[in-house]
Chains A and B, each alone.
Chain A
Amino acid sequence: MTDQEIIEQINSSLAEEFEFALNDMTPETTLFEDMGLDSLDVVDLVIVLESAFGMKIREEEAIRKIRTLGDIHTFVINKKRQMESA
């Protein structure tokens, strides 16, 4: 998967599972202010990403630092790359 494909997959999964409009989703979109998520939704976010990419996410620190959609893109891209090189 290219980075762009990963980003598109993330956006379409989140749009479907959290009922967001794809057009409103840019890397700068903030999860908590713009998208209206709260700390409760972070768990669902993790599960959606885990099932979309067949990966297990256990990076507690990294998850807590996520603020924008771009942060999610970077996190998943890095994790995919790590998995591929492992």
Chain B
Amino acid sequence: MRYDFTVIGAGVSGITSAITLAQNGYRVALLEKADRTAPLLRGFSRQGVHFDTGFHYTGGLGAGEPLDIFFRYLGLSERISSYSFDENGFDIFHCESPGFEFRIPTGYDRLQERLGEVFPGERAAIRSYLLQVRATCADLPYMNLDVVIDPNASLQRIFGPTLREKLDSLTENVLLKSLLSSHCLLYGVSCSEVSFAQHAAIVGNYYESVRGIRGGGLSLARAFDARLAELGVDVFCSREVTGITVGPGGTLSGVQLAGGDSLECNAAIATVHPRILLDLTPEGTFRPAYRKRLAALEETVSAFMCFAVSNNPVPALAGANRFLLPDAESLYDLGKRPIGDAPLYLSSAYREGAVEPHGFIGICPILFTETAPWESSRFGKRPEGYRQYKAQALERMQRQIERAYPDLAGNIHFIEGSTPLTVRDHCNTPLGGLYGVKHMVGQYNPHSTTRIPGLFLAGQAVVSPGIMGAVLSGFLACGTVLGHDIMRKELKVCC
């Protein structure tokens, strides 16, 4: 049986692509290496508490906002229920030195007002920053459905200025700059490397509104599954793609699977890490320049994560995520500070059906090289030295969190930790990047079109990480196939 399309990888970008193509009448096979779809969305449970590892909240899901429209188009809206994070503080920015806390509200006007109250001398800088974020977002393909897709769009995301350069040009207030850079932790790139345009494209959505999904990423994964089944997409889990076959004339003709099977198709959308893509494509199909570019792509920081549970509900953790910074300059060199003295991101965890949190996940950006001594070990077979490293790291992280939030001490048990090796093995990023390939000034990430006719790319490397970036990358790939104007028209019907 020959498919119109195979989609390689059933993460958010792959599922988005599969649904979009199926909705347009194509016969689609969706292939996933893991034993279920969207493994990173599903998280895991310990001691009755569910930890979301891949999804903590999202911007742009308020009524009529981009992700709300996208979910309606994908047939998910009726299957999930979302709730607003605290409008007066969806994120709590906590700096230890100097001691400073700020609750980041949603809504551009409210954000501008609150920032102005705390930094009265910086009102002009704040206004200018927010205006520029807003203007950047208004120009983004698919985020604004009136924007005509231009293949020669501006290269500002690659050419810069960096976020740090932009903020330096606006203000000398180190604390304000740190606060406005804090969302770097959501995409894993330092403010001195990410372009202002890329940063704006991500945070702009959060400045509008911030929502969670009831039941977390797992509910979203189930909604995706239900929609795929409804559309008759053939989903194959535990089926790893090992190669892409190219027919006469260089056009894509099928994919090879682990175990020797193969699947015939007219075209494919690959959502794998660009470096893995190189291993899948036959020698000579890409020019050396392109191969070298993909092979050299840098990844974002990796992370050490802690998972903590509480016997009693912890209402203080509800409604907001937390950025915990040792000092105002700790976002300049993401990943290079030792655990315990590095920035941290905390997000609450819930017992099934509970309204108040019973724990949290803590994410600390560190470099992949930190676990280099155990690089060749595999999950379930790590040596003793690795276990000691993990226990010590967990303890340092616990001390840092309890220093910032003394009320939690005694009530919270740190039950598990995960390292860059865990990230590498679960996220399929060869260098352990928590958010995959980095989006930074000077790095040219791949486009959705490739040199192989019939092969298209989606995934976080193309647009940005997060649900929004993954969905957008799926639309870009499908728009390349179906025509961007047609895609935009279909989406507009869902406005």
Residues of A within 8 A of B (CB): 16-19, 39-41, 43-48, 56, 58, 60, 64
Instruction: Say whether A18 contacts B447, CB under 8 Å.
Output: no
From A39, A47, A60, A64, B289 is in contact (CB under 8 Å) with A47
Extra A-B contacts (12), CB below 8 Å, given A17-B288, A19-B288, A58-B159: A16-B288, A17-B289, A17-B292, A18-B287, A18-B289, A40-B447, A41-B290, A44-B287, A46-B444, A47-B444, A58-B160, A64-B152
Instruction: Verify B442–A56 contact, CB threshold 8 A.
Output: yes
Q: Which of A18, A41, A47 has the most CB of B within 10 A?
A: A47
Q: Is B293 an interface residue (CB 8 A)?
A: yes
Which A residues are CB-close (under 8 A) to B293? Answer: 43-44, 47
Q: Which chain A positions have C-beta within 8 A of B451? A: 40
Interchain residue pairs with CB less than 8 A apart (29):
A16-B288, A17-B287, A17-B288, A18-B287, A18-B288, A18-B289, A19-B287, A19-B288, A39-B151, A40-B447, A40-B451, A41-B287, A41-B289, A41-B290, A43-B293, A43-B444, A44-B287, A44-B444, A45-B289, A46-B444, A47-B289, A47-B292, A47-B293, A47-B444, A56-B442, A58-B159, A58-B160, A60-B155, A60-B159
Which B residues lie within 8 Å of A45 (CB)?
A: 289
Chain B residue with Cβ nearest A16? B288
Give bound CA distance, A8 to B463, whole Å: 36
B376 within 8 A of A: no
Distance in angstroms from A15 CB to nearest chain B CB is: 10
| A40: chain B residues within 8 A (beta carbon) | 447, 449, 451
B residues engaging A (CB < 8 A)? 151-152, 154-155, 159-160, 287-290, 292-293, 442, 444, 447, 449, 451
Chain A residues closer than 8 Å to B152, beta-carbon distance: 39, 64
A41: chain B residues within 8 A (beta carbon): 287, 289-290
Residue of A nearest to B290 (CB): A44
* Inter-chain contacts of A44 with B (CB < 8 A): 287, 289-290, 293, 444
| Chain B: minimal CB distance from A26 (Å) | 21
Looking at the complex, which one of B160, B289, B447 makes contact with A48 (CB distance below 8 Å)? B289
**Closest beta carbon of chain B to A36's beta carbon, Å:** 10
Cα distance, A18 to B291, chains bound together (Å): 11
Give the nearest-CB partner of B443 in chain A: A47
Q: Give the distance to chain B from A29, nearest Cβ to Cβ, in Å.
A: 17
Q: List, in ascending order, chain A residues with CB within 8 A of B289's CB.
A: 17-18, 41, 44-45, 47-48
In the assembled complex, the Cα of A48 lies from the Cα of B449 at a distance in Å of 20
Q: How far is the CA of A54 from the CA of B305 in the complex (A)?
A: 38
Q: Is the CB of B444 within 8 A of A60?
A: no
* Shortest beta-carbon distance from A1 to chain B in Å: 22
CA distance A39 to B290 in the complex (A): 13
A60 to B197 alpha-carbon distance, docked (Å): 15
Residues from chain B with Cβ under 8 Å of A19 in the complex: 287-288
Report the minimum CB–CB distance from A16 to chain B (whole Å). Answer: 7
Q: Please measure, in the bound complex, the distance between the C-alpha atom of A37 and the C-alpha atom of B210, giving whole angstroms.
A: 43
Q: In whole angstroms, how far apart are the Cα atoms of A70 and B442 in the complex?
A: 25
Assembly CA distance A64 to B151 (angstroms): 12
The docked-state distance in angstroms from the alpha carbon of A64 to that of B154 is: 11
- Closest residue of chain A to B449 (Cβ to Cβ) is A40
Q: How far is the CA of A42 from the CA of B159 in the complex (A)?
A: 14
